Chains A and B, each alone.
Chain A
Amino acid sequence: QPVLTQSSSASASLGSSVKLTCTLSSGHSGYVIAWHQQQPGQAPRYLMKLEGSGRYNKGSGVPDRFSGSSSGADRHLTISNLQSDDESNYYCETWDSKTRVFGGGTKLTVL
């Protein structure tokens, strides 16, 4: 089954942009993933589905500041014009025929 690898933490300044990365394991580089945001003390929120081609489809109400891109086995989430409430944990998710897999999550700090 696929494995998803994320950096444990990232930081960027208010108003700047940040690019988070989720890397698919060997043999799974073509998989579609999803990105989820979890603000402190809240349930996760679906952000987008991201294909290996770089095409992405965002969930309802997700701001234009959130975008996705892909390069090989890497799936990226870019947040532009960072706001204070973007400070959250971000998880990637994928699936195969019988299981679902989450990355370990990246804690984003907005400076």
Chain B
Amino acid sequence: EVQLLESGGGLVQPGGSLRLSCSASGFTFSSYAMGWVRQAPGKGLEWVSTISFTDGSTYYADSVKGRFTISRDNSKNTQSLQMNSLRAEDTAVYYCAKYTTVTNYWGQGTLVTVSS
């Protein structure tokens, strides 16, 4: 059974940093692209970032480019999202996502609140 477990969310002040992690199990982690999708309170889904499984290429939404960094550790079946220079508009539930072509598995999400 595929499982994706996020951790690292919490309350952070504007301009601060936070690191999210996603622990994966139930599939061959090194063979799949992974990523993050967020959902602001009461809003829809917004793609944040993707990391490929072939060469580790990374892709970002314009809204986070230059501030967020995605990474993966295939030896530990984990992916991470380093979030710097956080803004109020980054407040959201962040979901870990496993991709084939589409998103075919979701984690339960971790809440990030950016507020003073």
Contacts and interface: CB of A to CB of B under 8 A. Distances in A.
Interface of A: 32-34, 36, 38, 43-46, 49, 59, 89, 91, 93-95, 98-105
The CB with the most chain A CB atoms within 10 A, among B44, B45, B105, B107, is that of: B45
Interface string B29-65: 0000001010000001111001000000001010000
Given A44-B95, A91-B44, A100-B50, A36 B103 contact: yes
A34 B102 contact: yes
A41 to B, nearest CB: 10
Nearest to B6: A43
A46 B106 contact: yes
Contacts of A89: 44
Contact of B61 (A91, A94, A99): A99
- Chain B at the A interface: mostly helix, strand, loop or mixed? strand
Closest 10 CB pairs of A and B: A34-B102, A100-B47, A102-B45, A105-B44, A98-B59, A46-B104, A43-B106, A44-B106, A43-B108, A104-B44
Contacts of B95: 43-44
B101 interface: yes
B102 A102 contact: no
Given A43-B107, A105-B45, A99 B59 contact: yes
18 contacts: A32-B101, A32-B102, A34-B102, A34-B103, A43-B95, A43-B107, A44-B45, A46-B103, A46-B104, A93-B103, A94-B102, A99-B47, A99-B61, A100-B50, A100-B103, A102-B44, A102-B47, A105-B45
